[in-house]
Chains A and B, each alone.
Chain A
Amino acid sequence: MTAVRQSWQVSLRYFRVLLRQPAFLLITIVQPLIWLLLFGALFKAVTQIPGFGGNGSYLDYLTPGIVVMLAVSSAGWTGMGFIEDINSGVMDRLLVTPAWRGAFNVGSVAQCVVSVVLQTLLIIGLALLMGAEIAHAGVLLLVAALLAAAFASLSNGLGVLTRQRESLIGAVSLLLLPLTFLSSALMQLSLAPGWIETVAKFNPVDWAAVAARDPDLLRIGLLAALTVLSGWFATRAFAIYQRSL
């Protein structure tokens, strides 16, 4: 109970930051719309490749892919907040309280998940307006939330361990494109080289993209497990950080 309340109070801090920066809020809203229109236009021809197997419109296929890509890229930057807190001195103040360490991570992850869910709703809305059919909107929201939570925790843990903006920027830049392109987010893997299909089996972004189009419990379960594991890692990171002080 205390843990939930503490996490909620910590998350309020991040929601306020979001609401007090209209520019950031605007970007959060506009970004997914740009992605959908841009990728939609660019990859329109993809579905016409023989063997793609798309029986619906290109948007039906791409919408879940764009959602998972957006979830990972939004979540990747979450750790920036902790790096700022460490440099400013706010983090040390939080760590000398008796509060549960996990609350600091959960509070920050909650803000990321809510942003991603809102962005996903916007994408779904726009895709529907453009005539797409989203067969499993609920599952899409679920996997987007899980993926965002997993990567936000990962980013938080990395931020606390490296304490440097450059390191986190490097890690996100390095991982984002491989994670997206070694998955079926934008492309049917049956058309990709065999090794990519193999690698994708271990890629959480692929789990999310596949599950969103054709819900299966195994992949959703893997995403949930990854979310728990990342959360544990981010919580442990505080202890490792303190050991270095």
Chain B
Amino acid sequence: MTRTVFEKAIEAVGLVKRYGEVQALDGVDLEVEAGTVFGLLGPNGAGKSTTVRILTTLSRPDAGTVCVAGVDALRDPVGVRRAIGVVAQKHSADPDATARENLVLQAELYGLRDRSRVDELLERFGLQDAADRQAKTYSGGMMRRLDVAIGLIHTPKVLFLDEPTTGLDPEARADLWAEIERLAREERMTILLTTHYLEEADRLASQIAIVDRGRIVARGTPDELKAELRAEAPSDEPVSLNDVYLKHAGRAVAA
């Protein structure tokens, strides 16, 4: 079991990122408590993936500081890489390799030689029967499960899931939700999840930040965000996270 020795699993201050004329991030601050599930919500192009790329050391900010799992990501990116797992928006499994080969390569890249972890993950994600088939023959749900298994090979302290359920059918989505809840509860993993599905953030995340046009426009627990809206516009109708989202990022959705 992973023991966390840091209180803040993620601490990012003043992240700025520009691509030519486009201001992708315009001063993003994030704090994620260790052992919690954090939801980063926002419309497409709001800056969610850019934030994840910076937090996972794939990209560097033009300004700002990043600390992940107690390690300075700008000074010691390799130290951060050892501590984190990443499931990107795109499929990251090699389609020409089998699930087992994908997992073995991933284990070796972390210096792990023990193959029992590979078998364990194949079984946990229901891939043992397909383990020796090329990944390109898999269904969308199987491929996604393999992506997640790859991200978990070294039992990371902090797991990044970038729109993990986009494109999945309802059943596969429910399965993945259950797995995310299990990781947070049983393995006490810190999870940062980006999504544009509000019910996903509402169900899984204990803290939410809404990002729009490269800025955090709202943050709090799902209930706090709903209560805030109810106080502003009292009504007898139950408030959903959708209303909160529309209030803060509505302009961007419409644009």
Contact = CB atoms under 8 A, between A and B. Distances in A.
Contact of B58 (A13, A88, A95): A95
The secondary structure that dominates the A interface is: helix
A99 B97 contact: no
Nearest to B86: A96
Contacts of B106: 93, 97
A88 B97 CA distance: 14
A99 B111 CA distance: 8
Contacts of B86: 92-93, 96
Given A16-B101, A93-B88, A245-B53, A6 B109 contact: yes
B93 A97 contact: no
Interface string B78-90: 1001101010111
Contacts of A96: 56-58, 81, 84, 86
Interface residues of B, number: 31
Of the candidates B60, B86, B109, the one having the most CB atoms from chain A within 10 angstroms of its own CB is B109
Contact of B110 (A17, A88, A97, A103): A97
Interface string B102-126: 0011101111000000000000000
A93 B60 contact: no
Interface residues of A, number: 25
Interface in B118-143: 134
Interface string A75-113: 000000000000011101111111100010000000000
Given A89-B91, A96-B58, 19 more contacts: A5-B108, A9-B104, A12-B101, A16-B97, A20-B96, A20-B134, A88-B90, A89-B92, A90-B92, A90-B93, A92-B90, A95-B58, A97-B106, A98-B110, A98-B111, A99-B110, A103-B109, A245-B53, A245-B58
Interface of A: 2, 5-6, 9-10, 12-13, 16-17, 20, 88-90, 92-99, 103, 242-243, 245
16 contacts: A6-B109, A10-B105, A12-B105, A13-B94, A13-B101, A16-B97, A92-B58, A93-B150, A96-B58, A96-B84, A97-B81, A98-B110, A99-B110, A242-B58, A245-B53, A245-B59
- What 3 A-B pairs come out closest when comparing CB atoms? A89-B90, A93-B92, A245-B59
Interface of B: 53, 56-60, 78, 81-82, 84, 86, 88-97, 101, 104-106, 108-111, 134, 150
